[in-house]
Amino acid sequence: MTAERLETLAFCQAARARGEHALAQTVLDVAIAQLTAADTATHAALLLERAELALAAGDLSLADEAARRAGPLAQTAGTPAVMAQAAWLVGQVAWRQLALDKARYWLGQAVELALQAELWPVALRAQRGLANVLAANGDTAGAQARLQALAADAQTLELPVEFAACQLDLAQLALAANDGAATLAHLQAALRAPDSLPPLLRGEAGLVRARLLLAIGDTAAAVAAVGEAVALLRLAGDQRSLGAGLLLQGQLLLVAGQAEPAGLALGEALAVTTRAQLPERAIVEAVIARLA
């Protein structure tokens, strides 16, 4: 990869980290359009970054297309890291589309490729995806056991982000089972070093914390927690998580008797879920209809 293209990729990754997603998308689209047939490795890497941005924006068709194009190019260029991450992205798209068999296949491919290349973070991320597929198919116990094992592996490999992500998944499963003590324990484990975590993970953890606070009857603390979480999710740029956060914020504000700010949050939730074509839009519309 040329120095110029490396700089382009680094610039776009930094812009995404700052929440400047539109800028990163524009720069990437220009750079990709200027590539030649000889730029195979560069093309694969830039397409992978474009797929990541599209996934965050909720554009699943573009994310799938870019990742599927990146995979064969990475194989030709001999860049296994990009191959593994491209397979993970295709699996993520399938997961969001609730195509569970397809998600299982592509996440399995990502695990295999990542393990061959000793790319432990990608391998753990893909195996987390497989655990979530188990949970979606009703095997909660199997998902919990796998996530516990993955958390232990992440701790051994000194991968704090992956460890926190596994603990957050476990917290969400515990919350769904109305196990407040386990939810709190996993949440505390996930957030034991919050400054080392990306905004998306901290924001999603904040949503779990807000739901837990609501469950124990502390509405004021839940409202404060969801406000902090939404601020982090805005920075992260993942539209699905932001839409979920705004929906929860609107619901909690309604519970707190704050109708006007609740309406603003729900209106923005509707705009986000509509713009990103998210299935959660129907839930937002139903809540707004009840409010009206």
Provide the mean pLDDT of the chain.
92
How far, rounded to the nearest angstrom, does the alpha carbon of residue 229 sit from its chain's CA centroid? 14
Nearest partner of 247 among 224, 274, 270, 229, judged by Cα = 270
The pLDDT of residue 142: 97
Percent of the chain with pLDDT over 90: 75
Q: What residue ranges define each of the domains in the chain, with the CATH number in brackets?
A: 138-197 (no CATH), 200-292 (1.25.40.10)
Whole-number Å distance between alpha carbons of 100 and 133:
6
Q: Is the pLDDT of residue 166 over 70?
A: yes
Tell me the pLDDT band of 69, cut-offs 50, 70 and 90. very high
Cβ neighbours for 241, distance < 8 A, ≥ 6 positions apart: 200, 203, 204, 207, 233
Residue 225 has pLDDT above 90, yes or no: yes
Q: What is the mean pLDDT of residues 130-152?
A: 97
Contact 124, 154 (CB under 8 A): yes
Is 90 exceeded by the pLDDT of residue 25? Answer: no
pLDDT digits (tens, 9 = 90+) for 110-137: 999 999 999 999 999 999 999 999 999 9
With a cut of 70, say whether residue 97 has pLDDT above it.
yes
Residue 18: other Cβ atoms inside 10 A: 12
pLDDT given for residue 4 in this prediction:
65
Name the pLDDT band for 6 (thresholds 50, 70, 90): low
Q: Highest-confidence range of 21-30, 90-99, 276-285, by mean pLDDT? A: 90-99
Nearest to 92 by CA among 125, 117, 115: 125
Res. 287: pLDDT tops 90: no
Answer whether residue 156 shows pLDDT above 90.
Answer: yes
